[in-house]
A and B are shown apart, each in its own frame.
Chain A
Amino acid sequence: MLSHAALEHLYDAYASGVVHYFMSFVKCEADAKDLLQELFLKLHARGLPESVESEKAYVWHLAHNLAIDWRRRKGAHDRAVESSAEEPRSLFADQANPDAAEFARRLEQALAELPTEQRSIAQLKLWDGLTFDEIAAVQGIPLNTAASRYRYAIDKLRTLLRPLYEEIKP
């Protein structure tokens, strides 16, 4: 079992990113919070196995498996009902600058249009600092698949955001 201090360290290091990652699967803040709690229950019970080379990869792998299990448990119908019933959690911090606020809003819309596989990889790469090797290990997919899904995601984001981005680019 992990000590309270170790769990606190893991929370500070990963909770925020993991919740955003969960949100790309579940769309609903309450479900993301439940999954975060489940993740920490697992970490508390199992600890970090000695065979684990990278704490980061282990935590993200557990998180990914929880998200996949959640998707299996919930039917497509349930997901549709939930996503329409509750306003999704805001992904980005409030922006003082109106241009930046508009860009954040449009980026959130653009991310919502991506397929889950692409959106989740874009999040891990852009905001959680994982390498393609780490993403491939976390999601259990080939390295090339991880890289190509990221590329598709960026291309789509570029298409969707180009007009606004060109406009506000300094």
Chain B
Amino acid sequence: MNDDLETKLQSMRRSELPAAWKAEILGSLNLPSTLPKSTRKSLSPTLAPPRWLAWSMAGAWTLVLILNLLTPATSPAPSSSIAAEVSTRALQLRREMLQSLLATNFSHTP
């Protein structure tokens, strides 16, 4: 019975694949990219940035760079010279106050 059944099962002819599959599957291997189908699907052209956008962005950045190089630098005064100017003025004020104090003291001395 067992051998008979196995023989009977082995004699069962299995269904054929659709003929179009062969051309479809083997044809897909000639694509320049051999990425799996799922990966190829994800590279939808709508998601890829258009070429004109890339070129216009590159042009804009180049223009910004050129303008930056051509514009003369208006550098602010160095902070060290400002500090020196402030301290000079403070010293001058202090000297004036001291002189006025001394003058006041001498004038009150009997």
Q: Which residues of A contact B (CB under 8 A)?
A: 4, 7-8, 11, 15-17, 19-20, 33-34, 36-38, 40-41, 44-45, 89-94, 103-104, 107, 126-127, 154, 157-158, 161-162, 165, 169
Other A-B pairs, 19, CB within 8 Å; known A7-B26, A16-B17, A34-B37: A4-B29, A15-B17, A33-B21, A36-B21, A37-B37, A40-B26, A40-B29, A41-B28, A41-B29, A41-B34, A91-B14, A91-B15, A93-B13, A103-B12, A127-B10, A127-B12, A127-B14, A154-B2, A169-B4
**Contact residues in A for B26 (Cβ distance below 8 Å):** 4, 7-8, 11, 40
* Total residue contacts A-B, CB cutoff 8 A: 78
Docked Cα-Cα span, A33 to B30, in Å, equals 18
Q: Which residues of B contact A (CB under 8 A)?
A: 1-2, 4-6, 8-10, 12-17, 21-22, 25-26, 28-30, 34, 36-38
**Contact residues in A for B37 (Cβ distance below 8 Å):** 34, 37-38, 41
